[in-house]
Chain A
């Protein structure tokens, strides 16, 4: 069971996820690119309750790691420290922000599969990438709320089931899309990216089985 979440990246995305995780009752360890002291004041004010650490410490002490750095900086995260960890890939390839990154433009696979090659020892799960960081905090709803939105998850089934429980506690219905490659269905440019959908709508959009079945599988796996 996940009790501590380590977040790599103290920017807008990392901070929004940190606040969401704190609200959901998780312990949050957060790291920027440098020493913990660099972000201590930031963490104290912007993500109060989280603990500032180095990236290595944040990863080592966490049950689950969130990659929340700009995609063009993903290689600044050490792959060795992530070995064996479940790591959430929240990153997207955005040419206007990232510039032309040949390894992504030349590869037809999803960005998470390219990133996954680099973090070969980690159990990479793609999620939280298709919701805006503003919306993450404003759209969270308790379970059973009629206007609760859904978030898609792609990765190996065991890791994804662990992540599904986290997404649920964050205030969203988790919908398992399939292995990491299936995350291409909710990348920028897809119909799902940036939109708001219920679990039923998202399940249909992903071309999966009926939502009852999908929800059941998630519950059992968790």
Chain B
């Protein structure tokens, strides 16, 4: 099982709760990725969000920088909002990072995003939401699957491309491209039909309830004739690891509180309830907040339902102190990962 982390960037807060610089959030994220690589974490996913509190708007740029500063870690977007981006540019940015990395550890995860802030920012119409996603995903895959640098494509959401070069080409010929979904059944079926690996972002509820979706994904893939190593599942959840469960809860609660207040303002949620936080932070809840034993057990338990090959945590939300993120990453790599491996081997 690969263990990883992901982030949308987390702008640090002043003692009075006001945000510090967004650039500081990006620099912290970069430093965290470098540390994750040194510690032996398997994967780091970046962005894409476009808010003052979550400023990782350009995963391609950050991943290219991180590719130069790391040796082993797999780097990917989490996710790239391709509906409102140009798939040609997304591919070029990640293929560039792939070249810098030496090849084989740069991935794209394509998604729609859970909010629609990119539509007004880049001048798209929400009425085209489904068409934009379907066509741009198709173009991204067309570029990636092209046997040569030259690509031909036509559609309705972007000017046609008539036998034009899209470069650089990935070192290994193609980039791994994942499809991200938050649990819509049709998205799981789509990933299966397309033969793409699927990445589940599970932000609440009980993660093991995604089991039917993973089954739907695998059966859809099988029906479309897709088998082999590209048919795989990864899981992204909130979480934080600390030396003890009590410390993990104390550290993550203020961050979760701030995140929930900000999301609640946009979506009309009630004031955050500590009891709900505590409940979600225990099995079978969705927050992987705990000591290494606790988090490892819960990841291994979820594996029994989803058979996922990668589990990665988002910890830096709501102004989480940077040192707590770094310690969590260190513990994920050095303590959680070997425990998960032992638990799965014993099954």
Contact = CB atoms under 8 A, between A and B. Distances in A.
Contacts of A133: 205
Contacts of B126: 72, 98-99
B205 A96 contact: no
B268 A45 contact: no
Contacts of B273: 195
Q: Which size class do B's interface residues fall under?
A: 20 to 34
Given A11-B185, A41-B223, A42-B186, A95 B266 contact: yes
Contacts of B267: 94, 96, 188
Given A12-B183, A42-B189, A45-B215, A191 B117 contact: no
A97 B185 contact: no
A194 B186 contact: no
B220 interface: yes
Interface residues of A, number: 33
Contacts of A48: 212
Interface in B254-284: 264, 266-270, 273
Contacts of A45: 212, 215-216, 219
A95 B204 CA distance: 20
A193 B216 contact: no
B206 interface: yes
Interface string B146-182: 0000000000000000000000000000000000001
A16 B164 CA distance: 46
B126 to A, nearest CB: 4
A90 B220 CA distance: 29
A15 B188 CA distance: 14
Interface of B: 115-117, 119, 126, 182-186, 189, 204-206, 209, 212-213, 215-216, 219-220, 223, 264, 266-270, 273
8 contacts: A12-B183, A42-B185, A46-B212, A46-B216, A134-B205, A138-B205, A188-B268, A193-B269
Which 10 residue pairs are nearest across A and B when measured between Cβ atoms?
A: A188-B268, A134-B205, A99-B126, A189-B268, A96-B115, A42-B185, A45-B216, A195-B270, A194-B269, A46-B185
Given A45-B216, A193-B270, 7 more contacts: A32-B186, A41-B189, A94-B268, A134-B205, A138-B206, A187-B268, A195-B273
